[in-house]
Amino acid sequence: MQTRGPVIIMELPENLNHAEGGAFLSEMLPLLETNRPRVVLDCSQVRHMDSAGIETLLHCMEEAMKRDGDLKLAALSPEAAAILELMRVDRLFEVYGSADDAARSFHAVASLEEPKGLPWYSVPYGLPDLKSAS
């Protein structure tokens, strides 16, 4: 496991099947229980993946999204890309060429978040804090 600021980067195992998927999930769940988990799964080592493996990925994404976080995939191996496409789940994930790109995408979203201390209307409408202006 690596981190890039608040982003956690995890490498998926070579075989993402029922057994290894279960082990991976038990390792992942504590990380997903934090507030707004931001997770990147590096799929470069994946050679085999079955329905249970896909289920694991979907479960992780569900857990992350429940807590207002997100899970992104990076560096898909050709095998992983082919299987995700076959199972129609490639469109559910954001996929990046490398783990760094995926981690940077979280920072880009973070920088677009409204600055603290400003009222809700100031960011979308470009208005100053009307209270202080008056």
Work out which of 55, 79, 100, 101 binds another protein, going by CB under 8 A: 79
Give the interface segment with another protein, choosing from 83-91, 94-102, 109-117, 125-133 (CB under 8 A).
Answer: 83-91
82 binds another protein (CB under 8 A): yes
86 binds another protein (CB under 8 A): yes
Torsion of CA 96, 97, 100, 106, to 10 degrees: -10
51 binds another protein (CB under 8 A): yes
Closer residue to another protein in complex, CB, 7/95: 95
- 101-120 residues in contact with another protein (CB under 8 A) are none
Distance CA 106, CA 85 (A): 24
Tokens of 32: 């997903």
Work out which of 83, 99, 102, 103 binds another protein, going by CB under 8 A: 83
Question: Residue 28 belongs to what H/E stretch?
Answer: helix 18-32
Q: Measure Cα distances from 34 to 37, 59, 62, 74 in Å.
A: 6, 15, 14, 21
Interface residue list for another protein (CB under 8 A): 17, 48, 50-51, 78-79, 81-83, 85-88
